[in-house]
Structure 1
């Protein structure tokens, strides 16, 4: 692994980039031997620094949940990051685009846990039993590392490129709807740009919740009741900028709108 002082230095660079909405050179260009373990260590130092400064952790994001994205990045499992309270928006909100770098939108479902969930043998059924409700969500991607040549190590270090989420108004218990078939029709300024269906996320959008619980068990941790789990995108990212109106139609789970200013 990278030396602890190097990990701390990179985490500080990312914290400053987050504060100034800047972009730093690729970690893997400067440290070509950096590993996935290094990237989670960097993310962890960055996370702890934010918590020490008063931000409140409200949940976790899961990324790289499609086979196509895993093959493109050369890994065989999803990645994850953390979500803080000041990154949560509601449908209809205006979002300051200048808060983010390389701003893109992804279509997802989020799950709010009704009780804690712990590995090591957590299954999809266990995850569904622990989920209080599902809610449609848009993820705002926020990349503080230059995009060209970026690897999974760079992305994970940068909190898995998480910037914010926009939550919808319709809540559904897992037994009220077949979550695999929730659609997403994503539009920018009235033009449909991306479409997908939630089954594209690991066959079932809650599969990643079970995966994350098992992953956390390896580090002596668990997912806690009340946490929001952003389950992964079932569309490609859509670029947005100030002035763009975004709408996503989730069929039986309603619509999300937001405007970037």
Structure 2
């Protein structure tokens, strides 16, 4: 395992990479024995520094919950990261590319909790009971670590590659819609690039919320009222660049549109 000094140094490297929009070498190329526990420790030090600087934590992201994403990354277990208030956009917004080192977009559902959710034996039914509403979302991935050869350790350390999210306008309670069959048709500049349905995320997108509650319990924590939980992509990531217009059709859950400028 890494020493506290090594963990703190890598967390500072990642913070600096976020400021400069540059990439750092893979952690696993320098520390091949680094563990998943090390990677969450790095993420935790980075998170605490961001909070100390004035950023407000508004939720959590879950990643690598679908076969599409696992095949795209070569990583076969879910991970999670944190989301801050200054990373939340709304449909119709212009999104500045200069905020990111690299930009990829994924199709997801987000959930807002109406009461806390705690493990260790949280089920899908428990998660659905804790969810106030679902809202369509796009996640913007942003890596501060070189992409080629990344492992789960690199990805988790880098806040699970989270950059930002774009939320739609339509909200649905879990009892109003079968969340498994919410579709996503993702287009770039008018051309369809990716499609999928939310059941691709662990069979039901809210399963990831239960998984995260159980994972948090292992660290003496829980998901809190009002938190936004980004449940994981049911499409492969789509690369975008400055000038691209992005649109995703979620059928009865509405449309998200944004432009990268």
Classify the secondary structure of the residue corresponding to 2:107.
strand
1:7-46 alignment runs, 5 A limit: 7-46=7-46
**Distance change in 2, residues 1:90/1:68 (3 Å):** closer
Residue 254 of structure 2 is matched in structure 1 by 254
Shift of the alpha carbon at 1:22?
1.1
Cα separation, 2, equivalents of 1:40 and 1:207: 21
- TM-superposition CA deviations, 1:83-116 (whole Å, max 9, x none): 0000000000000011111210000000000000
Residue 163 of structure 1 is matched in structure 2 by 163
Classify the secondary structure of the residue corresponding to 2:129.
helix
Aligned residues: 261
Classify the secondary structure of the residue corresponding to 1:43.
helix
Residue 244 of structure 2 is matched in structure 1 by 244
Cα separation, 2, equivalents of 1:71 and 1:105: 16
User: What are the ranges of 5 or more consecutive residues in structure 1 without an aligned counterpart?
Assistant: none
Residue 235 of structure 1 is matched in structure 2 by 235
Cα separation, 1, equivalents of 2:70 and 2:134: 25
User: What are the ranges of 5 or more consecutive residues in structure 2 without an aligned counterpart?
Assistant: none
Residue 104 of structure 1 is matched in structure 2 by 104
Classify the secondary structure of the residue corresponding to 1:47.
helix
CA RMSD of aligned residues (A): 1.1
Cα separation, 2, equivalents of 1:108 and 1:39: 24
Classify the secondary structure of the residue corresponding to 1:19.
helix
Cα separation, 1, equivalents of 2:142 and 2:248: 19
Query: Is the 8 Å Cα contact of residues 73 and 152 (structure 1) preserved in structure 2?
Result: no
Give TM-score scaled by structure 1 length: 0.98
Cα separation, 2, equivalents of 1:177 and 1:192: 25
Provide runs of 4+ in structure 1 moved above 6 Å.
Answer: none
Classify the secondary structure of the residue corresponding to 1:232.
coil
Cα separation, 2, equivalents of 1:253 and 1:99: 28
Residue 153 of structure 1 is matched in structure 2 by 153
Give TM-score scaled by structure 2 length: 0.98
Cα separation, 2, equivalents of 1:249 and 1:68: 19
Shift of the alpha carbon at 1:175?
0.2
Matched, 1:125 2:125: yes
Cα separation, 2, equivalents of 1:71 and 1:98: 28
1:182-221 alignment runs, 5 A limit: 182-221=182-221
